[in-house]
Structure 1
Amino acid sequence: MPGLYFEEFEEGAVFEHATRRTVTEADNMLFSNMTLNLAPLHLDAEYSKGTIYGQRLVNSLFILGLVGGICMQDTTHGTTLGNLGFEEVKFPKPVFHGDTIRVRTEVIGKRLSKSRDDSGIVFFRHQAINQRDEIVCDCRRAGLMLKLPAEKAAAAS
């Protein structure tokens, strides 16, 4: 399993995820249509020419989902019991068709679960960054993470 267990996360650790993704018009159109977000700002090129950006914006919830997918590979793949919540989600810069997104994750805290013996909660800060080094998404997330299995914990001691 490539994901890390609760004990393996250290506060202050930073992950510069290797996976990058160029966002396409098809991504934006499909996601917006699948989620019934029919805002012309995402779908209508002629309408968008008259907006402050002069072009269509990529749906911000697609970007948030992309952040979750990219960061999972190095951090929580197979070792998470689920997301407990996102907070302080910000989109300081827009994303346009053709932008390439990379993700940085920082572990900002952790604690043992109060209700489960097999897990703990890890607090992450995720930032999506475009090819111009602009932060396009910044959020905090809490993940319920499995603790090391007994045999792995014994081997680590």
Structure 2
Amino acid sequence: MAGLYYEEFELGQQFDHPWTRTVTEMDNVLFSTLTMNVQPLHIDAHFAAGTEFKKPLVNSLFTLGLVIGMSVNDTTLRTTVANLGMSETSFPAPVFAGDTIHVRTTVLSKRESKSRPHAGIVEFEHVGLNQDDKVICICKRAAFMHKRPQES
């Protein structure tokens, strides 16, 4: 399955991505240790038990990566040149091991590239939700997208 080319995106277009993913304790510990984030709130159950959350929080950068990753199949798979950046990222509610995440994406804007005539920039808003439809992550992302190849 391929993503969409620049021309195929429309302002306001929404994607309710069919993928869901249950986050595991291993996801959190592995991601946190691989990225050298030794914050005990993520990797130490005894420490986390003494916090307001009472259990380890899933690393927010894992959550962000998961939310964006879950959008790729429907939007940018094999049609993106590169990510240009993320902005206005927030985590309104915590994620814990055992939460099941799903994602909704909206096209916020698009413009043709001034430097590359065969590409354009699409701005997405990704919203991650848990199994109770509580928003756990919001992110705006600018993607540099290929235009549809010209037939010869």
Give, in whole Å, the separation in 2 of the partners of 1:111 and 1:147: 11
Q: Secondary structure at the residue paired with 1:115? A: coil
Give, in whole Å, the separation in 2 of the partners of 1:85 and 1:65: 13
Mapping of residues 71-90 of structure 1, within 5 Å: 71-90=71-90
1:55 partner letter:
K
Q: Give the alignment's Cα RMSD to 1 decimal.
A: 1.0
- Following TM superposition, by how much is the alpha carbon of 1:120 offset from its aligned partner in structure 2, in angstroms? 0.2
- Following TM superposition, by how much is the alpha carbon of 1:132 offset from its aligned partner in structure 2, in angstroms? 1.0
Mapping of residues 109-128 of structure 1, within 5 Å: 109-128=109-128
Aligned-pair identity in percent equals 56
- Following TM superposition, by how much is the alpha carbon of 1:102 offset from its aligned partner in structure 2, in angstroms? 0.3
Give, in whole Å, the separation in 2 of the partners of 1:57 and 1:132: 17
Runs of 4+, deviation exceeding 3 Å: none
- Following TM superposition, by how much is the alpha carbon of 1:140 offset from its aligned partner in structure 2, in angstroms? 0.2
Match of 1:52 in 2: 52
Match of 1:130 in 2: 130
Match of 2:40 in 1: 40
- Following TM superposition, by how much is the alpha carbon of 1:95 offset from its aligned partner in structure 2, in angstroms? 0.1
TM-score by length of 1: 0.95
Give, in whole Å, the separation in 2 of the partners of 1:97 and 1:150: 46
Q: Secondary structure at the residue paired with 1:150? A: coil
Match of 1:28 in 2: 28
Give, in whole Å, the separation in 2 of the partners of 1:10 and 1:104: 15
Give, in whole Å, the separation in 2 of the partners of 1:145 and 1:23: 29
1:100 partner letter:
T
Give, in whole Å, the separation in 2 of the partners of 1:5 and 1:71: 15
Q: Which runs of 5+ in 2 are unaligned?
A: none
1:102 partner letter:
H
Per-residue Cα deviation, 1:48-97 (whole angstroms, up to 9, x for no partner): 01111111000000011111211001000000001000000000000000
- Following TM superposition, by how much is the alpha carbon of 1:46 offset from its aligned partner in structure 2, in angstroms? 0.7
Q: Which runs of 5+ in 1 are unaligned?
A: none
Give, in whole Å, the separation in 1 of the partners of 2:62 and 2:74: 20
